[in-house]
């Protein structure tokens, strides 16, 4: 099922993060990045057996687990701070002909097969369109967050540096090239977060839940 996007304004008087948010957004604006290796052995094996692609599974898994925590859904809408109930992955479609990319987005669906079908449809319709926004005449929805992959590099660290002056609190996620290590396949994964939105505990919970879902991906097919 595809969730209908909603936005819930924050009640500052009752919000436990109000002082933390003020400190890291006004007094000491801070973002941070963390890169870890996730074990993709079982996920890769499951996808190969099911003849599924890794990238849409990666988009779906990351989106599913980010939006389980409202801290990763923090945003401003018309000057009002609040939380979205769901996120939309905004990802890069690479063009082999001129080595540029375009941004595409596919609405999240609770069912992976439905999301994968929508992703493949978006790629077929818009994947060859050049320009920074791949869907001509459209703009990404306000709950879109950046999630991408550098499939040529198995990095040890990756960080996103934004020069945007407007408030932006949604996370950014990047994956690298799968790296064999012994009998395992490791997937580098970088997460960049605004400290006003989320702390280390939320990052820990996201990575823990993400690894668990990767290991049991066969239950989502």
Indicate which residues carry an active-site annotation: 195
65 contacts: CB under 8 Å, gap ≥ 6 = 206, 209, 210, 213
Three-state secondary structure along the chain? CCCCCCEEECCHHHCCCHHHHHHHHHHCCCEEEEEEEEECHHHHHHHHHHCCCHHHHHHHHHHHHHCCCHHHHEEEECCEEEEECCCEEEEEEECCCCCCEEEEECCCCCCHHHHHHHHHHHHHHHCCCCCCECCCCCCCCCCEEEEEECCCCCCCCCCCCCCCCCCCCCCEEEECCCEEECCEEEEEEEEEEECCCCCHHHHHHHHHHHHHHHHCHHHHC
């Amino acid at each position: 099922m595809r969730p209908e996007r909603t936005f819930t304004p924050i009640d500052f008087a009752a919000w436990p993060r109000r002082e933390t948010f003020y400190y890291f957004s006004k007094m000491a604006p801070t973002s941070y990045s963390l890169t870890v290796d996730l074990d993709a052995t079982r996920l890769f094996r499951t996808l190969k057996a099911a003849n599924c692609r890794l990238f849409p599974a990666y988009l779906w898994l990351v989106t599913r687990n980010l939006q389980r925590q409202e801290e990763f859904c923090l945003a401003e809408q018309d000057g009002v701070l609040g939380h979205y109930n769901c996120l939309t992955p905004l990802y890069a479609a690479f063009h082999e002909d001129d080595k540029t990319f375009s941004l595409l987005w596919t609405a999240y669906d609770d069912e992976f097969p439905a999301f994968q079908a929508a992703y493949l449809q978006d790629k077929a319709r818009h994947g060859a369109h050049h320009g920074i926004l791949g869907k001509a005449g459209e703009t990404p929805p306000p709950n879109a967050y950046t999630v991408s992959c550098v499939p040529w590099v198995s990095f040890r660290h990756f960080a996103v540096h934004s020069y945007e002056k407007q408030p932006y609190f949604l996370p950014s996620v990047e994956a690298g090239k799968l790296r064999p290590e012994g009998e395992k396949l490791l997937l580098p994964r970088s997460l960049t977060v605004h400290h006003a939105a989320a702390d280390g505990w939320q990052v820990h919970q996201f990575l823990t839940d993400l690894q668990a879902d990767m290991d049991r991906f066969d239950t989502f097919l």
